[in-house]
Amino acid sequence: MSGEPGAIASHELPRTPLPEAQAALRRDKIKIATISLCGCWGCNLSILDCDERILGLLDKVTITRSSFTDIKRIPERCAVGLVEGGVANEENIETLAHFRENCDILISVGACAVWGGVPSLRNTLPLADVLREAYVDSVTAVAGAPAIVPAHPDLPRLTVKVFPCHEVVHMDYFLPGCPPSGDAVFTVLDDLASGRPVDLPTSLTKFD
Ligand code: SF4
More confident: 195 or 25 = 195
pLDDT for position 19:
57
Strand pairing category for 61-63 and 87-89: unpaired
The full set of domain ranges for the chain reads 18-121+158-196
Second CATH level (architecture) for the domain 18-121+158-196: 3-Layer(aba) Sandwich (3.40)
Ligand 1, CB within 6 Å, residue ranges: 39-40, 42-43, 84-85, 110-112, 117-118, 178-179
Sheet-wide strand order for 173-175: 61-63, 30-36, 78-84, 103-109, 173-175
% of the chain exceeding 70 in pLDDT: 87
Ligand 1 pocket mutation, candidates 45, 84, 87, criterion most atoms within 8 A of CB: 84
Ligand 1 centroid – CA 18 distance (Å): 40
pLDDT for position 175:
95
Ligand 1 centroid – CA 176 distance (Å): 10
Q: How confident is the model at residue 69 (pLDDT cuts 50, 70, 90)?
A: confident
The residue-averaged pLDDT of 21-27 equals 54
Q: Which of 122-126, 131-135, 144-148 has the lowest mean pLDDT?
A: 144-148
Ligand 1 centroid – CA 110 distance (Å): 6
pLDDT for position 72:
85
d(CA 116, CA 51): 27
Ligand 1 centroid – CA 190 distance (Å): 22
Ligand 1 pocket mutation, candidates 178, 181, 205, 207, criterion most atoms within 8 A of CB: 178
Q: Across the chain, what does the average pLDDT equal?
A: 87
Task: Kindly report the pTM of this predicted structure.
Answer: 0.84
The residue-averaged pLDDT of 96-102 equals 98
pLDDT for position 140:
87
**pLDDT reading at 82 higher than 90:** yes
The residue-averaged pLDDT of 173-199 equals 93
CA-proximal residue: ligand 1, atom 3 (nearest): 112
Ligand 1 pocket mutation, candidates 112, 115, 118, 185, criterion most atoms within 8 A of CB: 112
